[in-house]
Amino acid sequence: MRTPRRNAQVAAVAALALAGLMAVAAACSPPSSPPATLSQAAPLGVNGMVQEGSSVWVADLFGKQVVRFSPDTGVIQERYGMDAGTCTTDDPVVVPGGDVVATCPTEGLVIRIPRGGGTATVLADVGRGVNPIALDPSGTSVLVGFGTSDDDRLLRVPLDGGPVTTVATGLPVLNGFGFGPDGLLYAPTGGVPGLLGTGGLGRIDTATGTFTNIPLTFPDEPGKQGLQFAVGADVGADSTVYVAQGINAAVYAVDPSTGVARLVGRSPLDVADNVVALTDGRVLLSGFFGGKVTVFTPGPGGTWSTSVLQIGN
C-alpha cells in the first residue's frame, strides 16, 4: 500500500521536473561543433536518444543542444547548440543525408540541424508540447507526438518541407516512441498522471492511425499493475520493446505479443527520461538531470549488468 509520505516524494519529483521545464528558456549551451577543439562540457540533462553507427545522439532540453557521444567512453564527438539555431531540443533522429531533426516542446517546433556547420531550420511549427519523434521507415518524413493531455495528435512532418498531415487523433499522452521490425510505432502511455503506477504501452499503425493498447503484466513483481511514469520506448532487433520507467528509474523488457514485462535493471539516477536499444544488445537509459546515462549490458542466462556512464566531463 502506498503511504502518504511516498506520494509526497513522487509529487515532489514531478514538481521538480515540471519546474525545470519552465526554466529552460534561461538555459545556455556550449559552442557548437565542429570547432578547433570540441568542448567536453557535460550536457545539463539527457533526454531523447538515437543511435547512429557506433555513436549515440542525445537531446539536452535544458542546454538547448544535441550531442553525439561514444557509448563506450562517454567522449563527446559532435555538438550543436544555440549558436547553430537550436531550441529546447527534447528528442532527436538522424535522417538520410546525416542531418539531425529534433523536437522542441517549449517552442512547439520541429527543427532540422545541418551537420558540419550552418543554421538550423524550422521544418514545422506544430504547437507547444511536441515531444517524441521517430523517423518513418520510408525515410521521407518524421512522426511526432505530444507529451501533454492538451494535444492528442500524431503528426507526419515531411523532410522536404511539404505540408504536415495528421496520422491519428484521440491518442493517450505519448512519450519517446520507436518503430518495431513489424512497422508499428510503439509508444509509452500515461504521461504525468501515470506517476503513481498506471503508465503503459501501446502501438500505432501509422497507415491507419489505429492505436492498440498492450496490457502489461509483471510476473516477477506481484501487485505491480503499471509503470511509474512511462517515459520512453525503443524496440530491439528481436522485437523486444524496452520501456523506460521515469520514477524509480528502470528499464523493462516487454514481449509485445503477450505484454509480459520483465525488469532489465534499475538505475541509480533519480529520474529517467528515455531509452535506446543499441544494435550490440546494450540498453541505455537517459537521466533527466545531469549528463549521465545508465548502461545495461546483457550477460549469460538472461542476466544484465548495470553501470553509469558520464557524457563528457
pLDDT digits (tens, 9 = 90+) for 85-103: 999 999 999 999 999 999 9
C-alpha cell at 311: 557524457
**What's 231's domain CATH number?**
2.120.10.30
Average pLDDT over residues 275-303: 96
CB–CB of 220/263 below 8 Å? yes
Main-chain phi, psi angles of 307, to 5 degrees? -145, 165
Binned at pLDDT 50, 70 and 90, residue 37 comes out as confident
Range of the domain at 271: 4-310
C-alpha cell at 282: 546494450
Residues, the chain, total? Answer: 313
Tell me the C-alpha distance between 145 and 202, whole Å: 13
Average pLDDT, the chain: 89
Main-chain phi, psi angles of 141, to 5 degrees? -155, 170
Q: Tally the domains of the chain.
A: 1
- The distance of Cα 145 from the centroid of its chain, to the nearest Å, equals 12
C-alpha cell at 249: 528509474
Does position 2 have pLDDT exceeding 70, yes or no?
A: no
- The distance of Cα 100 from the centroid of its chain, to the nearest Å, equals 15
Tell me the C-alpha distance between 74 and 253, whole Å: 24
Average pLDDT over residues 263-272: 94
Tell me the C-alpha distance between 229 and 173, whole Å: 11
Whole-structure pTM value: 0.88
- With vertex at residue 244, the alpha carbon angle to CA 97 and CA 24, rounded to the nearest 5 degrees, is 70
Does position 3 have pLDDT exceeding 60, yes or no?
A: no
Average pLDDT over residues 53-67: 97
| Listed range (145-154, 165-174, 216-225, 240-249) with the worst mean pLDDT | 145-154
- The distance of Cα 115 from the centroid of its chain, to the nearest Å, equals 21
Per 3-state DSSP, the chain is made up of helix, strand and coil in percentages (nearest 5) of 10, 40, 45
CB–CB of 81/29 below 8 Å? yes
Q: What is the pLDDT of residue 196?
A: 82
Does position 83 have pLDDT exceeding 80, yes or no?
A: yes
Tell me the C-alpha distance between 113 and 110, whole Å: 10
CB–CB of 232/243 below 8 Å? yes
